[in-house]
Structure 1
């Protein structure tokens, strides 16, 4: 999907769970389960809504 960090900059600053799931090529429920286990960085809760900081997700993906 995205080959370099520069291409990630096209994404919005805060991502939705479905966007993170697409980047990771997993189901959205897998993202929610990983959040519950504190495995995904950059999670921002706004009430019941989750958003993910793009830069934290990108760094996490590139770090493996």
Structure 2
């Protein structure tokens, strides 16, 4: 996966996770709320992966 694709997927997972968390809170559903939090963490990890790929590419391009 390219760094851009990782970042886009990460942003989507964070957004969906926030919605799930909000619905879980509104409906008093702790399972859905937890799924939302987990999906947000997954999204942040994907974004970090994209950032690392970008940093490595910049470093390689300098040499």
Range into which the TM-score falls when normalised by the shorter chain:
under 0.3
> If each structure's strand is expressed as a fraction of its own residues, which one has the higher value?
1
> If each structure's helix is expressed as a fraction of its own residues, which one has the higher value?
2
| Higher RCO (C-alpha under 8 Å, 6+ residues apart) | 2
**Higher Cα Rg, which structure:** 2
